[in-house]
Amino acid sequence: MRIRTTSFRSTLPRTHSPRDTLDRDTLAHEMKTEASFPLAQASGALPHSLTASVGSEWIVDAYGCEPRVLQDLKVIAQICEDAVAYLGLQVLGQPQQHAFPGHGGVTAMYMLSESHLACHTYPEHRLATFNLYCCRDRPGWNWQKQLEDRLGSTEVLVRRVERGNLVTQRMAQRGQE
C-alpha cells in the first residue's frame, strides 16, 4: 500500500530523500517519532488513527473580578504556577510577567514544553483572561472554582477547543484513498 503525502509531507520529520509518496511502514515510523503528534491505535487502513486533535486549548474569561486583585502580579503568577503544577506541565525558561503602571492590569506569559499559558487582566473591566494550550492530553483544572476563590469573579466562562481536527481528518482521508 502506498500513501500520497504531498499536502502534509512537510509536517512530518524527514528521515529519507524527498519523494511524492511514502510507503506505509515509513509513514508509520515517522508518525511514531513525532512527539507532539498524539496518535491512537486504530483498526483502519492506517497503522494509527489520525482523527485525534494535535492539542487542546482552554480559553477562560473571568468576569466581575476584584480590580485590586487583578493588579496584583503575585496573585496572578501564583494562579498560573498552580495551574501549571496541577496539570504536570513543564515551564521552559523564566515566565515573563509585567504589571502595568497606575491602575493597569497584569500580563503573564509562560512558555511550556507542551505549548503556552498566557494571562491578561483588565481591572477597569473587572476581567481576567487566560489561554492555555497543550499539545498533550491533560485532565481539567477547575478554572471556575480557582478564579472565583482567588479573583472574586462572579462568572467564569471556560471553553475547551480541540485543535487540528480538520487537518488530521484530512490526513486520514487521504491515507485511505
pLDDT in tens, 142-176: 999 999 999 999 999 999 998 887 765 666 667 66
Flag whether the pTM goes above 0.75. no
pLDDT of res. 97: 97
Q: Is the pLDDT of residue 37 over 50?
A: no
Which residue among 65, 80, 119, 135 is the active-site one? 135
125 is catalytic: no
Average pLDDT of the residues of the chain? 77
Active site residue 134: no
More confident residue, 35 or 57: 57
- CATH 3.60.90.10: which residues of the chain? 55-163
Q: What is the CATH number of domain 55-163?
A: 3.60.90.10
Using the predicted structure, report yes or no on whether residue 27 has a pLDDT greater than 50: no
CA gyration radius, the chain: 21
Which residue out of 115, 119, 134, 153 is catalytically annotated?
Answer: 115
Active site residue 135: yes
Contact 119, 108 (CB under 8 A): yes
64's torsion region: left (phi>0), alpha (psi -120 to 50) or beta?
Answer: left
Q: Determine the Cα–Cα distance for residues 9 and 12; give it in Å rounded to an integer.
A: 6
